[in-house]
């Protein structure tokens, strides 16, 4: 293919599919780096590439689902990350516990999945017209529309609280579980994350028709109760209480995340959704990663595993309490300006529900 022709092709393919294909290619590269990494530096590089690929895809995929169906797309954006966490936790635990080459096999499995997904995306029919700017579409887009600013400010404390809890279970959680249960089984750590995220996914589905603000309030309250029960279980080394607290906290995890997404996203115009989704996911991923790094540092250089787990849990409860206080403030009814975008009667009704 001549150079000019190639440039024209890559500049005019449908932007959403192009972004997804590039993201999948980066995921394949990340899995190859994970598989061949010989030390911490290689793992960090793989994580960076993986993060870039996730950022390139999440806005385009999420906005595409909203374009297909606003109501179902909003729910899917809330449940997909949670159920992915649940599935990843239990499958990784099974692979590490029962299959050969545990350090490499999980990445090889994901490598094959990403290649198959890339083939599937290339075979998908275009849902939007090809236009110039595909390469420019890979530039991250972040934004908070003026109509959604108050909703986002309300959602941020909730997102930080719920994903900090997810970071706890994904980082020091497996070691805490093994200590509480008194077993060295690697599967237990993955099972605890599966229980947390699985109960969160169930909560999303059960509360999908409940007003978003109510869902957020229920989620933050459940988070406080669940983490409190879990901390008591750690103190008294009660396995049953630990998993009861995990189920309750997981329901709060799912409900809080769903409420935050459903509160903010319907207030954005179609061309603003991708940037808003990316902003919400950046907050979520930072809340998932940074506290987990701090927790790991404190385990090694601070008071040890169980004291750090207690301090981490108390911090999550405080964050959830702050979010709950914010939700207790009366909501103001606001409506998007008619000049910004054409609003259907269904969208207007949904906007009223969001603020009620």
- As to burial, measured by CB atoms within 10 angstroms (0-12 exposed, 13-18 middle, 19+ buried), residue 58 is buried
Q: Is the pLDDT of residue 210 over 70?
A: yes
Nearest to 296 by CA among 176, 172, 177, 165: 172
Higher pLDDT, 147 or 337: 147
Average pLDDT of span 164-175:
86
The pLDDT tens digits of the residues spanning 110-140 come to 999 999 988 988 887 655 555 555 555 556 5
Across all residues in the chain, what is the average pLDDT? 78
> Which range is most confident: 35-49, 72-86, 204-218, 330-344?
204-218
Among residues of the chain, what percentage have pLDDT more than 90?
A: 19
pLDDT digits (tens, 9 = 90+) for 26-84: 889 999 998 888 887 888 888 888 877 776 676 667 666 766 676 777 677 677 777 88
pLDDT in tens, 4-27: 444 433 344 444 677 778 888 888
Is it the case that residue 314 has pLDDT exceeding 90?
yes
| pLDDT above 90 for 190 | no
Least confident of 135-139, 273-277, 332-336: 332-336
Q: Give the pLDDT confidence score for residue 11 in this predicted structure.
A: 41
Q: CB-based contacts of 218: which residues, under 8 Å, 6+ apart?
A: 207, 210, 252, 255, 259
Determine the average pLDDT of the residues in 171-183. Answer: 86
Residue 331 — left, alpha, or beta (φ > 0 → left; ψ -120 to 50 → alpha)? beta
Return the pLDDT at 355: 39
d(CA 190, CA 281): 23
């Amino acid at each position: 293919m001549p150079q000019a022709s190639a440039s024209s092709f890559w500049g005019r393919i449908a932007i959403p599919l192009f972004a997804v294909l590039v993201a999948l290619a980066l995921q394949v590269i990340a899995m190859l780096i994970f598989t061949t990494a010989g030390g911490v530096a290689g793992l960090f590089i793989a994580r960076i590439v993986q993060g870039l690929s996730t950022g390139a895809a999440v806005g385009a995929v999420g906005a595409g689902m909203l374009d297909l169906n606003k109501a179902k797309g909003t729910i899917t954006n809330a449940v997909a990350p949670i159920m992915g966490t649940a599935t990843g936790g239990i499958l990784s635990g099974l692979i590490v516990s029962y299959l050969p080459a545990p350090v490499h096999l999980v990445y090889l499995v994901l490598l094959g999945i990403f290649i198959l997904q890339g083939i599937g995306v290339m075979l998908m029919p275009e849902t939007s017209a090809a236009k110039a700017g595909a390469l420019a579409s890979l530039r991250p887009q972040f934004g908070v529309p003026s109509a959604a600013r108050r909703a986002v400010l309300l959602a941020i404390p909730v997102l930080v609280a719920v994903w900090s809890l997810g970071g706890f279970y994904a980082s020091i959680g497996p070691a805490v579980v093994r200590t509480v249960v008194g077993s060295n089984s690697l599967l237990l750590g993955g099972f605890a994350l599966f229980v947390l995220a699985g109960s969160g996914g169930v909560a999303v589905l059960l509360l999908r028709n409940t007003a978003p603000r109510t869902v957020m309030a229920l989620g933050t309250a459940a988070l406080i109760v669940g983490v409190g029960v879990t901390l008591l279980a750690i103190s008294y080394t009660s396995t049953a209480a630990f998993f009861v607290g995990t189920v309750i906290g997981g329901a709060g995890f799912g409900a809080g995340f769903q409420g935050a997404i459903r509160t903010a996203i319907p207030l954005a115009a179609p061309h603003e959704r991708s940037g808003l989704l990316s902003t919400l996911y950046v907050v979520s991923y930072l809340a998932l990663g940074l506290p987990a790094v701090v927790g790991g540092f404190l385990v090694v250089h601070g008071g040890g595993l169980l004291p750090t787990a207690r301090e981490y849990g108390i911090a999550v409860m405080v964050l959830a309490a702050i979010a709950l206080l914010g939700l207790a403030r009366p909501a103001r009814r606001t409506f998007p300006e008619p000049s910004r975008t054409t609003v259907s009667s269904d969208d207007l009704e949904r906007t009223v529900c969001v603020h009620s």
